Structure 1
Amino acid sequence: MLLLLAPAAGAQQSLQWNAPAGATVRPTDAALVGLARQLLDGSDAVHLTPVQRSQSLLVAGQYAQASAAITALMHALRSEGNESQAQRWTPYLLMAKAGNPAEPGFDRAYAAAFAAWFAALDDVSALKTHYWFSTNLPAAQAKLDAALATYAGSASLTHEQALDLIRQAAFVATFRVTSRLAPDLIRADEDRRFEIDDSVRIPAMEGVVLSAHVARPRRSAAPPPAAMLFTIYTDPARNRTQAALAAAHGYVGVVVDARGKRLGTGTAAPYETEGVDAAAAVDWISQQPWTDGRVVMYGGSYSGFAAWAAAKHAPPALKAIAPYVAAIPGLGLPMENNVFLSANYAWPFYVANNRLLDNDTYNQRERWDALTERWYTSGRPYRQIDQVDGTPNRWLQRWLAHPDYDAYWQAMVPYGDDFSRIRIPVLSITGYYDDGQISALHYFREHYRHLPDADHRLLIGPYDHFGTQANVKAMELRGYSVDPIAQFDTDAITFQWFDHVLNGAPLPPLLADRVNYQLMGANRWEHAPSLQAAGGGMTTFHLSRERAGTEYRLIETPTAPAGVLTQAVNFADRNSSRHSYYPWPILRAGPPDDGGLSFVSAPFDQPMDMVGPFGGDLKIRINKRDVDLTVTLYEWQKDGKVMQLSYYVGRASYAADMTSRHLLTPGQWTQVPLQRTRMTGRRIAKGSRLLVVVDVLKDAEHQVNHGTGKDVSDESVADAGAPLSIDWSTDSILRIPLRAVAE
Structure 2
Amino acid sequence: MNLNSHLVQRMLRLPPPLTRDLTVERDLRVPMRDGAVLLADRWTPATGGDGLPTALIRVPYGRSGMTAAPMVRPLAERGFQVLIQSTRGTFGSDGPFDPLRREREDGLDTLDWVIEQPWFGESMILVGASYSGFTQWAVADAAPPQVKAMIPGVSESALTLDFLHGDAFSLETPFVWGVQVAGQERRFGMLRQMLGGKLGGERKKVQRALRTLPLNQADTAAIGRHYDYIQNILVHDADAPFWRDLDHRHRVADITVPVSTVGGWYDIFLPGQLRDYRALRNARLTVGPWAHISMGVGHTYTAEALDFGLALARGEQPAERAPVRLFVMGEDKWRDFPSWPPPGYEPQRFHLQPDGALGTEAPADSSPDGYRYDPADPTPAVGGVRMAFGEKAGRVDNTALEARPDVLTYTTAALDGDVEIIGDVSAEIFFRSSLPFADVFVRLCDVDADGRSTNVCDGLLSLTGADDTRAARVRMWPTAYRFKRGHRIRVQISSGAFPRYNRNPGTGEPRATATTLRTADQQVFHDPRHPSAVLLPIRQVTSEKSGQ
- TM-score, with normalisation over the residues of structure 2? 0.83
Higher relative contact order (CA 8 A, sep 6+): 2
Partner of 2:248: 414
Q: Is the 8 A contact 2:63 2:85 kept in 1?
A: no
Partner of 1:159: none
Mapping of residues 79-228 of structure 1, within 5 Å: 84=10, 123-124=17-18, 127=20, 189-191=21-23, 196-217=24-45, 220=48, 223-228=51-56
Q: Distance in 2 between matches of 1:317 and 1:674?
A: 43
Partner of 2:495: 696
Query: Structure 1 residues 432 and 534, CA, compared in 2 at 3 Å: closer, same or farther?
Result: farther
Q: Distance in 2 between matches of 1:490 and 1:336?
A: 32
2:157 is aligned with 1:358: no
Mapping of residues 338-377 of structure 1, within 5 Å: 338-343=168-173, 345-353=175-183, 358-359=189-190, 362=193, 364=196, 366-371=200-205, 374-375=208-209
Q: Is the 8 A contact 2:205 2:222 kept in 1?
A: yes
Q: Is the 8 A contact 1:282 1:317 kept in 2?
A: no
SS in 1 for 2:271: helix
Partner of 2:109: 280
Question: Who wins on radius of gyration, i.e. which is larger?
Answer: 1
SS in 2 for 1:397: helix
Q: Distance in 1 between matches of 2:497 and 2:455?
A: 20
Q: Distance in 2 between matches of 1:385 and 1:262?
A: 25
Query: Structure 1 residues 650 and 494, CA, compared in 2 at 3 Å: closer, same or farther?
Result: farther
Query: Structure 1 residues 674 and 507, CA, compared in 2 at 3 Å: closer, same or farther?
Result: farther
Partner of 1:171: none
Partner of 1:66: none
Query: Structure 1 residues 336 and 667, CA, compared in 2 at 3 Å: closer, same or farther?
Result: closer
Q: Distance in 2 between matches of 1:538 and 1:285?
A: 48
SS in 1 for 2:22: helix
Q: Distance in 2 between matches of 1:262 and 1:699?
A: 33
Q: Distance in 2 between matches of 1:370 and 1:559?
A: 44
How far the C-alpha of 1:388 sits from its partner, in A, is 3.7
SS in 1 for 2:161: coil
Partner of 1:514: 323
How far the C-alpha of 1:689 sits from its partner, in A, is 1.0
2:520 is aligned with 1:723: yes
Q: Distance in 1 between matches of 2:407 and 2:184?
A: 43
2:510 is aligned with 1:711: yes
Structure 1, 687-696 or 214-223: larger mean CA deviation: 214-223
Q: Is the 8 A contact 1:333 1:344 kept in 2?
A: yes
Q: Distance in 1 between matches of 2:489 and 2:409?
A: 10
Letter in 2 for 1:396: I
Mapping of residues 641-652 of structure 1, within 5 Å: 641-652=452-463
Q: Distance in 2 between matches of 1:636 and 1:699?
A: 23
How far the C-alpha of 1:674 sits from its partner, in A, is 2.5
2:341 is aligned with 1:493: no
Q: Distance in 1 between matches of 2:533 and 2:326?
A: 26
SS in 1 for 2:150: strand
Instruction: Please point out which of 447, 450, 469 is paired with 1:636.
Output: 447
Query: Structure 1 residues 705 and 224, CA, compared in 2 at 3 Å: closer, same or farther?
Result: same
Q: Is the 8 A contact 2:326 2:335 kept in 1?
A: yes
Structure 1, 682-691 or 623-632: larger mean CA deviation: 623-632
Query: Structure 1 residues 214 and 579, CA, compared in 2 at 3 Å: closer, same or farther?
Result: closer
Instruction: Please point out which of 532, 537, 540 is paired with 1:732.
Output: 532
Query: Structure 1 residues 222 and 212, CA, compared in 2 at 3 Å: closer, same or farther?
Result: closer
Q: Is the 8 A contact 1:330 1:405 kept in 2?
A: no
Which one has the bigger strand percentage? 2
Q: Is the 8 A contact 1:610 1:681 kept in 2?
A: yes
Partner of 1:403: 237
Deviations 1:552-599 (A, max 9, x none): 11121212557533333233xx2x332535335724385731231101
Aligned residues: 517
Instruction: Please point out which of 140, 161, 168 is paired with 1:331.
Output: 161
Q: Distance in 2 between matches of 1:241 and 1:590?
A: 37
Q: Is the 8 A contact 1:337 1:650 kept in 2?
A: yes
Letter in 1 for 2:38: L
2:481 is aligned with 1:682: yes
Query: Structure 1 residues 704 and 440, CA, compared in 2 at 3 Å: closer, same or farther?
Result: closer
Q: Is the 8 A contact 1:372 1:700 kept in 2?
A: no
SS in 2 for 1:713: coil
Q: Is the 8 A contact 2:408 2:494 kept in 1?
A: yes
Deviations 1:302-321 (A, max 9, x none): 21222222336555544321
Q: Distance in 2 between matches of 1:381 and 1:530?
A: 45
Letter in 1 for 2:506: G
Deviations 1:506-551 (A, max 9, x none): 5346xx222211223435321112233266222221112x22xxxx
Q: Is the 8 A contact 2:263 2:297 kept in 1?
A: no
SS in 2 for 1:345: helix
Q: Is the 8 A contact 1:613 1:678 kept in 2?
A: yes
Letter in 2 for 1:298: V
SS in 2 for 1:678: coil
Letter in 1 for 2:338: P
How far the C-alpha of 1:295 sits from its partner, in A, is 2.8
Letter in 1 for 2:421: M
Q: Distance in 2 between matches of 1:669 and 1:87?
A: 53
Instruction: Please point out which of 547, 557, 564 is paired with 2:368.
Output: 564
Q: Is the 8 A contact 2:234 2:511 kept in 1?
A: no
Deviations 1:45-78 (A, max 9, x none): xxxxxxxxxxxxxxxxxxxxxxxxxxxxx9xxxx
Name structure 1 gaps, 5 residues minimum: 1-73, 75-81, 89-120, 128-188, 473-488, 653-663
Partner of 2:473: 673
Query: Structure 1 residues 695 and 535, CA, compared in 2 at 3 Å: closer, same or farther?
Result: farther
Q: Distance in 2 between matches of 1:293 and 1:217?
A: 17
Name structure 2 gaps, 5 residues minimum: 1-5, 385-391, 544-548
Q: Is the 8 A contact 1:338 1:650 kept in 2?
A: yes
Deviations 1:420-457 (A, max 9, x none): 212222211122233x1xx2331332442x45xx1222
Query: Structure 1 residues 240 and 211, CA, compared in 2 at 3 Å: closer, same or farther?
Result: farther
Percent identity, aligned pairs only? 20
Partner of 1:455: 282
Q: Distance in 2 between matches of 1:210 and 1:342?
A: 30
SS in 1 for 2:270: helix
Letter in 2 for 1:582: G
Deviations 1:230-287 (A, max 9, x none): 1011142453674443232322211111112233211222222222212221221122
How far the C-alpha of 1:690 sits from its partner, in A, is 0.5
Structure 1, 340-349 or 327-336: larger mean CA deviation: 327-336
Letter in 1 for 2:483: I
Instruction: Please point out which of 383, 391, 394 is paired with 1:582.
Output: 383
Query: Structure 1 residues 699 and 241, CA, compared in 2 at 3 Å: closer, same or farther?
Result: closer
